[in-house]
A and B are shown apart, each in its own frame.
Chain A
Amino acid sequence: MLSYSIRRILMLIPVLLGMSIVVFSIIRAIPGDPALTILGEKASAKAIADLREVLGLNNPWYIQYFDYLKQIITGDLGVSLHTGASIAKEIGPYLAATTELTIFSMCFAVFIGVNAGIISAWKQNSWFDYTAMLIALIGVSMPIFWLGLMEQWFFAQELKWLPSVGRDNPRDPVQAITHFYIVDTILAGRWDQFRDVVEHLILPGIALGTIPMAIIARITRSSMLEVMRADYVRTARAKGMAQFGVVYKHALKNAMIPVLTVIGLQTGLLLGGAVLTETIFGWPGVGRYIYTAIGNRDYPVIQSGILVIATIFVLINLLVDLLYAYIDPRIKYR
């Protein structure tokens, strides 16, 4: 396990380097002069020349790359052209907002998806199986923005059960400490606000979690069906184990590998910020942060935002790979 983990972590280095090259190239791949693109057609020649100097565009590309690498290794993500603030500082709250929403959505997706998949496989061809798989099919094929709008119309507008936009009550905003509002409200001991924050999470959380939930349910079902036919499942039953234990202990642990892969990928995708959902629900997450930056032609923000998202994606996959080895002892020998 240890040597596997170390090897797997060392493999991060080339991946992260490759990623930095791609991100670095983005801004240079834009046709024409980046300085001109950033400043616009009407900029003076002096301003363009100054910006080229600031951006280091007059150096050869490999020097530029090493400067860039040095910069990001020290945690400096550059400065936003639009606000003039440090991106590393600025992105934090957005990232926290997205992470909180992702965790909420994935908990919902994993809990319902995995259990629905297990029960569907256990009671194969039952009415539960058919209903669950029909819902899963609808779930994977439903456009999120439509689902989000329908939720807002039904639960916020018609029933008035839940708030439709934002993270907290604008008349009583949460005092941000960690920017994870659930944590912040607990730290402040404000249970009324805690409840409010959870209510704000529900609609976007469900909208965002529906597709992962549906995919997870389908993968879990097919993986479980395969495992349930295995000889060791018969052995477990021959020991006198109840079907529940057979399914949730012996079969599930073996069926988890493909499910875990999907959970990892989906979490990575959600952490990248779901622009549509965040826009519909007025959620101040990374998706909207980068989306706004694109509108403002704020290239450093776009570049660093992509770098951060890609790094998170890679780290989540690392975590998934380490979990593989934890779940299946055979993996480290492969």
Chain B
Amino acid sequence: MSQPVLQIENLQTHFFTDRGQVPAVDGVSITVHKGEVVGIVGESGCGKSVTSLSIMKLVPNPPGKIVGGAIRFKGEDLVLASEKRMREIRGNEIAMIFQEPMTSLNPVFTIGDQIGEAIRLHTKTSKKEARQKSIEMLKKVGIPRAEAIVDEYPHQLSGGMRQRVMIAMAMACNPELLIADEPTTALDVTIQAQILDLMRQLNQEADTAVLLITHDLGVVAQMCHRVVVMYAGNVIEEGDVRTILKNPKHPYTIGLLNSLPKLEESQERLYSIPGNVPIPGSLTAGCRFAPRCEQAMDRCRQEMPELIPVEENHRSRCWLSI
């Protein structure tokens, strides 16, 4: 197989706080191939957003810092890359869209200014050409009246429209990797579907690899080729999306799937995983999920399992998977 677009190896991003060092991302390895859509799933606070910000090296520093591992983008280790090199990559080769379309666009610049800026930062383009290109991009992401919208301000658009603008901005320089951090969480269900369709369409047209961060397994099922499940800063299960959804091995993944409402059964109450995500920094030896796991054994409390191969393209960090 050809070289992967992105290969994260044993990434460790820690936060240095007054109460000590907090390992928000603690040994995460993820691989994304060209044209592939990989989902990262997990509860709030599992480290999925920090992982994505680490790839862009945009983790607020201080307090956050990448303390170990490698992030290979087309073979180049971004952990070692200079800030200057990172600026060339950001927005050009790797682009990112965020969860909050309402606040992710600058309120005091027009849509055209903001898309055009992304273009002009990475290519030699005149203001006029950048504006033309902005209009093209707006049309591409399905914004009606693109010629008028280009001169409007973000507050004049709805949330779904703003997310389309964010996507237009991200795709403006034809990135090889698009990181989408909960791109649909803040949107209505109908708008969600439109945005997901749009992303899939762009993924197919431009062959852009997508790293989709979400807590919504429905989105994963609809969008992704592969899925990585994260828990407390670790990858706990990964594999082909169909395999994981049909045959999950890790009790946490099983719990996540069980907590989805099902059409064919009428349930009085939805299942929920007991307990809460452990506060990073309060972790003890053994499997991190053990305190909440209904099937935890003595071994689980003493020893953390590796990612154990279950079948082809499916690995799980659970002693039960052996």
Interface residues of A (CB under 8 A from B): 230-232, 234-242, 250, 253-254, 327-330, 333
Q: Are B155 and A250 in contact (CB under 8 A)?
A: no
Quick one: which of B88, B91, B100 has the most chain A CB within 10 A? B91
Instruction: Chain B residues near A242: list those with CB within 8 A.
Output: 87
Q: Tell me the B84-105 residues at the A interface (CB within 8 Å).
A: 86-92, 95-96, 98, 100, 103-105
Contact of B95 among A231, A237, A238, A333 (CB under 8 A): A238
Asked if B169 is an interface residue, CB under 8 A from chain A, the answer is yes
In the assembled complex, the Cα of A333 lies from the Cα of B104 at a distance in Å of: 20
User: For the complex, what is the distance from the CA of A232 to the CA of B113, rounded to whole Å?
Assistant: 13
Report the separation of the CA atoms of residues A328 and B95 in the bound assembly, to the nearest whole angstrom. Answer: 27
Nearest chain A CB to B109 CB, angstrom units: 8
- A237 CA / B59 CA spacing, docked (Å): 11
Contact B107 A235 (CB under 8 A): no
In the complex the two chains form, what is the Cα distance from A23 to B166 in whole Å? 55
Contact flag A240-B108 (CB < 8 Å), given A232-B103, A234-B98, A330-B153: no
Q: Which residue of B lies closest to A251 (CB)?
A: B106
B103 near A231 with CB under 8 A, answer yes
Q: Report how far A330 CA is from B157 CA in the complex, Å.
A: 12
Closest to A328 in B: B108
In order of increasing CB-CB distance, the 4 nearest A-B pairs are A240-B91, A239-B91, A240-B90, A232-B106
Expressed in whole angstroms, the Cα–Cα distance for A236 and B91 within the complex equals: 9
Q: Closest Cβ of chain B: how far from A239's Cβ, in Å?
A: 4
What is the count of residue pairs linking A and B with beta-carbon distances less than 8 angstroms?
Answer: 69
What B residues does A330 contact at CB under 8 A? 107, 153, 155
CA distance A220 to B87 in the complex (A): 27
Question: How far is the CB of A134 from the nearest CB of chain B, in Å?
Answer: 22
The CA-CA distance from A254 to B108 in the complex, in Å, is 7
The docked-state distance in angstroms from the alpha carbon of A328 to that of B96 is 26
From the candidates A230, A239, A253, name the one contacting B117 in the complex (CB within 8 A). A239
The listed residue with most B CB atoms (<10 A of its CB), out of A237, A238, A330, A333, is A238
Supposing A231-B100, A329-B155 touch, asked if A238 and B56 sit within 8 A by C-beta, the answer is yes
Residues of B within 8 A of A254 (CB): 106-108
When chains A and B are docked, how far (Å) is the Cα of A237 from the Cα of B89? 11
- Please state if A237 and B58 are interface contacts (CB–CB under 8 Å): yes
Residue pair A238, B91 in contact (C-beta under 8 Å): yes
A240: B residues at CB distance < 8 A: 86-92, 118, 121-122
Are A230 and B103 within 8 A (Cβ)?
Answer: yes
**Shortest distance in angstroms between B84's beta carbon and chain A's nearest beta carbon?**
9
Known A231-B98, A329-B155; contact A239-B107, beta-carbon cutoff 8 A: no
Query: Does A327 contact B87, Cβ atoms closer than 8 Å?
Result: no
Assembled-state Cα–Cα distance A71/B69 (Å):
80
Q: In the complex, A242→B88 CA distance in Å? A: 10
Across the interface, which residues of B come within 8 angstroms of A234, CB to CB? 58, 98, 104
Mark each residue of chain B from 67 to 97: 1 if its CB lies under 8 Å from any CB of chain A, else 0: 0000000000000000000111111100110
